[in-house]
Amino acid sequence: MPFAVTKPLRQEVERAFPDRPFSVRFWDGSVLPATGGRGLEFTIRSPRAVAHALRAPGQLGIGRAYVSGEIVPNDIDAAMDLLQEWKPAPIDGKAKTRLMVAAARAVGLTRPPKRPNAEIILSGKPHSRERDAQAVRHHYDVSNEFFRLFLGDDMTYSCAVFSRGASTLAEAQETKLDLVAAKLGLRAGERLLDVGCGWGSMAIHAARHYGVSVVGITLSQPQAEIARRRVAAAGLADKIDIRVQDYRDLGDEQFDAVSSIGMVEHVGEDNLDEYARVLYAALKPGGRLLNHGITRLRHSDPKAGPFSERYVFPDGAPLHLSRNLLAIERAGFVAQHVEGFANDYAETLRHWYENLDARLDEATALAGEERIRVWRLYLRTARNGFLTGFIGIYQVRAQKPGPDVLPGQTPAGADGRGQSALGK
C-alpha cells in the first residue's frame, strides 16, 4: 500500500488539528492538505525530523528538526505569520499519546539523530566569567564578514532609530549613536567607557564627533580585532583603546560617562546589581550612564524558550525595565530619563533580515546552512516580539550624584538644552 508508513501519523495529525492553515508533505511523498490558509506547506524530509521531536518534545525538538534541515517551510515569512496568528485547539493527553505512538511507528528503528552543530549547551556556573565568554563566542564569533552582510559597513549591531527622520539603515544607526552621545552630554577631553563595544561603532562616533577618548570592552576577540582595524583606519588610534575584557575586571579606572548598548540583557538577574555597581564605581562623581537594552514587557509572560537558549543567545536574559531601574537605583544612580524604541527595533530587524535574504548564498558560504536557518528565524522572531509587545527596548539615562550636580538635573549639553530631563 502506498504511503503506508506515514498513514497513521497523517491520520493523527489530521485528528489533532482538524483546522489547518497549512499542508504537510511527508518524506514518502504523501501530503496532508490544508483546510485553509495561504499556501503554506511544511516538508518533513525524513524520519529524522520526527525523531528529533520525539527525543525532545516541544520547541527544542521542532527547532532541531528545522535547524538540521529536516523540516522546511516553503515560505518562512508565512510560517512566522502562522506562529503569530494560528491558535489551534488544545490537545488532550490521550491525543498527545496517540500522536507520539503514531510518530514512533513512522520513525521505526531510526537511530536517534545527533544535535545540530549549531546548538550549544554551556558549561559552568551561569554568568561566570568563563561561561559568559562561551556565550559571547557562540553568538558573535561566526564570521565578521557574515555580520557585515546584513548590518552594513558601519557594523552597528543594535537598535537603529528611524523615528527621528532617518530613511536608511545607515542613517538610522548614525541617529542612534548621536542620540546616545547627546544624552550623555559628551564633551571634548572627557573619557567614555563603552561596555560591550562590538565592532567599535559607538567608540569611533564619540571620538570623531565629540572629541572624547574611549575605552571599549568586548568578550569577543574577533570583534576586537575588527574594531581596532576600524579605529586605525579612522585615524583615531590615539583616542580609542579596544580591549577584550569582562566588565567585572575594570579595576579602579575612572570615566566621565559610560555607554552600555545591547549589553544589559546578557548580564543575568543574579549579576544585574553587581553590573550596576561596577558601572557606578567606574564613574567620577557627576558621571553619566546611558543603559540601552532589550526588556521583557508583560510580567505574566515566560522567559525565552530553549531554542533561543541553545541556538541564539545562550544565557540571554532580558529583564523587565523595572528590574533594570531597580539595579541602577540600588547602585546609587539617579535615573533621569527613560525612552522606548520598540518600533524602531522592529524596523531595524526588518532591514537586517531583508539584507541577509538578499545575500543568502554569500551568508551561507560564510556561516553554514544551520546557522543561516537559525538567523533567518531569529531575526524574524525578534521583530515579531517587538511588534506584539513580548519584548521592548529602552534607553535609561542616569547619573552618579556629585557636588556640582543636583539629582534630576543634567549637565549642560546632556539633552541639548542643559535642563532637567524629568518628564520628557
Q: Give the whole-angstrom CA distance, residue 25 versus residue 41.
A: 7
Structural Rg of the chain based on CA atoms: 24
- Structural domain of 225: 129-399
pLDDT at 410: 53
Mean pLDDT of 2-30: 87
Mean pLDDT of 12-41: 91
> pTM to 2 decimals?
0.89
Q: Give the whole-angstrom CA distance, residue 138 versus residue 424.
A: 39
Query: Do 140 and 80 belong together in one domain?
Result: no
Mean pLDDT of 306-311: 84
pLDDT at 406: 56
Query: Do 65 and 135 belong together in one domain?
Result: no
Query: Do 44 and 141 belong together in one domain?
Result: no
* 409 found inside a domain: no
Q: How far is CA 11 from the centre of its chain?
A: 38
Residue 16, pLDDT > 80, answer yes
Residue 30, pLDDT > 80, answer yes
Contact by Cβ (8 Å): 181, 206: yes
Tens-digit pLDDT profile for residues 80-101: 888 888 888 888 888 888 888 8
Q: Give the total number of structural domains in the chain.
A: 2
* 213 found inside a domain: yes
Query: Do 140 and 259 belong together in one domain?
Result: yes
Name which of 266, 289, 309 is nearest 59 in CA terms.
Answer: 309
Query: Do 215 and 92 belong together in one domain?
Result: no
Query: Do 363 and 275 belong together in one domain?
Result: yes
Query: Do 169 and 285 belong together in one domain?
Result: yes
Contact by Cβ (8 Å): 84, 389: no
Query: Do 215 and 74 belong together in one domain?
Result: no
Tens-digit pLDDT profile for residues 227-237: 999 999 999 99
Task: Say what percent of the chain tops pLDDT 90.
Answer: 66
* 172 found inside a domain: yes
Task: Tell me what the pLDDT averaged over the chain comes to.
Answer: 89
Query: Do 189 and 67 belong together in one domain?
Result: no
Query: Do 186 and 317 belong together in one domain?
Result: yes
Residue 293, pLDDT > 70, answer yes
Mean pLDDT of 105-127: 84
pLDDT at 4: 64
Query: Do 146 and 272 belong together in one domain?
Result: yes
Could you tell me how many residues make up the chain? Answer: 424
Query: Tell me, what CATH number does 135's domain have?
Result: 3.40.50.150
* 191 found inside a domain: yes
* 407 found inside a domain: no
* 249 found inside a domain: yes
* 119 found inside a domain: no
Tens-digit pLDDT profile for residues 146-205: 999 999 999 999 999 999 999 999 999 999 999 999 999 999 999 999 999 999 999 999
* 120 found inside a domain: no
pLDDT at 77: 93
Query: Do 159 and 97 belong together in one domain?
Result: no
Task: Say what percent of the chain tops pLDDT 70.
Answer: 94
